[in-house]
Amino acid sequence: MSHHLVEMRDVWFVYPDGTEALRGVSFRITHGESVALVGGNGAGKSTLLLHLIGILRPVRGEVRVGDVPVVDATLSQVRRAVGYVFQDPDDQLFMPTVREDVAFGPVNMGVPSEDVERRVRDALEEVRIGHLADRPPYRLSAGEKRAAAIATVLSMTPDVLVMDEPSANLDPRARRRLIGLLRGFRHTKILATHDLELVRAACERVIVLDRGGILADGVTSAVFADGAVREALGIDG
Amino acid sequence: MSGRHWIDPGELDELARIDSPVHRLDPRAKILVTALYILVVMSVSPDRIAALMPFVLFPSLGFGIAGIPVTPIVRRLAIALPFAAMIGALNLVVDREIVLSVCGIGLTGGVISFASILIRAVLTVSAALLLVSVTGTHRIGAGLAVMGVPGIFVTQVLFLVRYLFVISDEAVSMRRAVDLRSAGYHPGRSRGLPLRLFGSLMGSLLVRSLDRAVRVHRAMRARGFTGDVRYAGILRFRSMDWVFLGSCAAVLIALRWADPTQWLGGVIAGVR
């Protein structure tokens, strides 16, 4: 059994206002893969990601993480396996210091306090912001906030990293650092992004979403060479 | 990041990061002493203003030893005082009997109890501000939780603070957006918004805050939040905390019932 597996089988989702956000999405992501989820605004990227941690549930179809279906009974197991980095770090960082924020997940998981300390240290080192541990998160720069937000999920030692727009609002240097970090992680990675350069640098596989359905799924270079994909993503104008 | 505002909601928590002997005390000791202080000050009879004076010492010493600057505290006091003044104002009207005459000016019972309410408001609000600025909301929450206050109340307090940031940030950015596009729009009314605009701003502030709150809540659930905030660092009640708690309690109780102002007055009268 692999914890690193992420699978959707014919997933449909309709928002209460009637918007069909996902229409029969199926894919299977295996151990160690780095997958980009691309598509225009409103293509369904964020909706899809929220299904992976059970915050949204399909009206039809099934989501599986690490061989277990995402249902009420498995939620804590699933959320332990999937580390979710939200689009706006300000939503993710809510404790008074970076250290406490990074400790929040492990503490909720019931990790003993001496292990929590070690995990916090390791997670902060991994994203190279150990020196910011005692700063309040709302006083950090955008790049530092992003790194802190990533640390808050790394401390939960997830098998799968899910990130919504990880390079949004980053300056070129912070973005390069992020790409370096992403390439260093050995987790299974799923990144929803508009940043095609980031995709080329950090993901070997791309899933293209268009109006709630999968338009293309394959090796990055091949997918980006496809005419229909280029049209849908608005590459070449 | 937004710039500093007149009242920066994060300011007190930032001050709580200073290192001082007062900051290092266990939050539980500080909570108990502050609660006792407020009780004692509130229990002083309204007509005995002089008896309140020794209690000025407690917050002043606290702020002094902890190295807390005066400005942020005074600003917050300025916000709290009008409320106390409103409560006390009725006394001025109701109680008009002259009870004291200073330099030929008659003071009514109402004036004295009004002054007493204001002084007690200053003292108790400063004590509460002192507690927050030397402890930090989060450690206060931890202290309350460890002292057995039900988790739901503690979580409420902590979230109130957290969402205060959220809402104030949203409000500031909306206000900026309005300011930037309203130049010359309301001649002669450069400050203050027309009521109609204010209403729609408040409405959209509510909606934006709710949206934001949903996203924060999602992020918390994604990290295993189930309703209880747990505390990674275990608080330790050391001998220093016992000493602080014991001596403060003794001094407060002595000040309340021994009334050193009369005693001091007696000593001075005796010397003469």
Torsion of CA B185, B191, B197, B198, to 10 degrees: 170
Please say if the pLDDT value at position A41 is more than 90. no
Query: How confident is the prediction for chain B on average, in pLDDT?
Result: 82
Question: What confidence tens digit (pLDDT) does each residue in B255-272 have?
Answer: 888 766 666 666 666 665
- Average of pLDDT values for B95-121? 82
Q: What is the mean pLDDT of residues A39-50?
A: 91
- The answer to whether position A219 is within a domain reads yes
Q: Is residue A100 one of the residues assigned to a domain? A: no
Asked if residue A128 belongs to a domain, the reply is no
A155 touches chain B (CB under 8 A): no
> Average of pLDDT values for A71-81?
90
pLDDT at B2: 41
Chain B interface includes A41 (CB < 8 A): no
**Is A109 inside a domain boundary?**
no
Q: Would you say residue B234 has pLDDT above 80?
A: no
Read off the DSSP letter of residue A211.
T
Question: Is residue A79, in this structure, part of any structural domain at all?
Answer: yes
Q: Is B230 in Cβ contact with A108 (below 8 Å)?
A: yes
Q: What's the domain range around A14?
A: 6-92+158-233
Residue A132's pLDDT band (cuts 50, 70, 90): very high
Note the pLDDT of residue B192. Answer: 62
pLDDT, tens digit, for every residue of B81-91? 999 898 888 88
H-run or E-run covering A135: none
CA max distance for chain A = 54
Residue A93: per-residue pLDDT? 85
CA dihedral over A162, A165, A167, A169, signed as positive or negative: negative
| Residue B270 burial (C-beta neighbours within 10 Å; 0-12, 13-18, 19+) | exposed
Q: What integer pLDDT is reported at residue A232 of this predicted model?
A: 84
Are B230 and A152 inside 8 Å of each other by CB?
Answer: no
Tell me the average pLDDT of chain A: 90
Q: How many domains does chain A have?
A: 1
pLDDT reported for residue B184: 52
CB-based contact, B216 to chain A, within 8 Å: yes
Check residue B1 and give its pLDDT: 39
The yes-or-no verdict on residue B187 having pLDDT over 60 is no
Alpha helix stretches (DSSP H) within chain B: 11-15, 21-24, 27-43, 57-66, 70-94, 109-135, 137-146, 151-181, 195-222, 239-258, 260-271
Q: Which band of pLDDT confidence, cut at 50, 70 and 90, is reported for residue A237?
A: low
Q: How far, in Å, CA of A23 to CA of A181, rounded?
A: 33
Coil, helix or strand at residue A219: strand
Whether residue A103 lies inside any domain: the answer is: no
Contacts of A215 (CB under 8 A, 6+ apart): A39, A208, A209, A228, A229, A232
pLDDT computed for residue B259 by the predictor:
67
Q: Which range in B4-8, B25-29, B85-89, B146-150 is most confidently predicted, on average pLDDT?
A: B25-29
The CATH number of residue A202's host domain is 3.40.50.300
Domain membership flag for residue A171: yes
Question: Would the CB atoms of A79 and B223 count as touching at under 8 Å?
Answer: yes
Nearest to A161 by CA among A56, A53, A58, A67: A53
Does B138 contact A at CB distance below 8 Å?
Answer: yes
Q: Evaluate whether residue A88 is within a structural domain.
A: yes
